[in-house]
Amino acid sequence: MRTILIEPTENPKVMKFVADYNLIPGSLELDRSSDISEIPLAQELFNYPFVERIFITANFVAVAKQDTVEWEHVSESLKNVIEDELLANPRIYIQKRKEMYQIYAEMTPNPNVMKFVSNKLLLEGFVEVKSREEADEVPLAKAIFDEFDFAQEAFISDNFVAVTRDNSVEWHEVMVAVRAFVAEYLQNGGAISNLEPQKHESPVEKIINRDYTNDEQKISDILNEYVAPAVENDGGKISLMEYDESTKTAKMLLQGACSGCPSSTATLKNGIENILKQFIPELVEKVEAVNG
């Protein structure tokens, strides 16, 4: 435990907090306009609104306060803060802290698929790994597959990875372990994907390598505005893959949690088909699914 001694100074507004070793070479003077992003001790001290300035040199920290408080009421609290911070980081400056990844699990409409959502962006776009053989260029997916035998597919998009399980386990049995594994993998700087992510705006262009016709573009615009946000929120992706003008049938590419979901057909029929028929009845009478 770092022991700090409290020493008054000739200035009644300033108190010294003295350590038993040199804190920094040279000196450091800080006020509330200073950049303290890499000085946790200063961040903690300035959390107290009465602290006006901090001066650090040799083996002590001098704190200047406002007149609104008396030292007898606050000096012990500041002493404890300084002791705790010096215990955590004896040299005042901290090396840049690792990004902290917070991961939570979220169910999807597909009972086989669980989303593991990060508080930080993972990819600009998305990648989909449909089998273990495809995982070599997607290190996050490969790590999940290597660690968990029940993992079959992975869909990484924006700030989440959606994992598809087989029937050997239930999610309530393994969810915590997967969440902890993903968090640790990301926290340790693990690579996510070596592949160029597909863009959300036009994933179908990569799949079928063609531009939309005017009619297809109208259908796609309705999908993007009214359907895609809800589908992506459930850990999946939906795109127009093919349109048959003669039968007024729109074929949808389902990816991520939507792929193989037992409720996807009902979703298409009851939701997406109705939306398209409502907005563009002259173009769409029927919707079919193509699992990605």
- Locate the domains of the chain by residue range: 5-88, 103-187, 203-291
Q: What is the pTM of this model?
A: 0.45
Give domain 103-187's CATH architecture.
2-Layer Sandwich (3.30)
Residue 35, Cβ density class (10 Å: 0-12 exposed, 13-18 middle, ≥19 buried) = exposed
Which architecture, in CATH terms, is 5-88?
Answer: 2-Layer Sandwich (3.30)
Instruction: Give yes or no on whether 5-88 and 103-187 have one common fold.
Output: yes
Cα separation, 275 vs 290, in Å, equals 18
Q: What per-residue confidence (pLDDT) applies to 94? A: 56
Topology of 203-291 in CATH? GMP Synthetase; Chain A, domain 3 (3.30.300)
Q: Is-contact 16 62, C-beta < 8 A?
A: yes
* Mean pLDDT of successive 10-residue stretches along the chain, which has 292 residues: 84 92 83 87 91 90 92 91 84 60 86 91 90 93 96 93 95 94 89 85 50 85 81 74 87 69 58 85 84 54
pLDDT value, residue 208: 47
pLDDT for the residue 6: 93
What pLDDT was estimated at residue 127? 92
Euclidean distance between CA atoms 80 and 1, whole angstroms: 11
Residue 141 CA, distance from chain mean position: 16
Contacts of 59 (CB under 8 A, 6+ apart): 18, 19, 20, 21, 22, 23
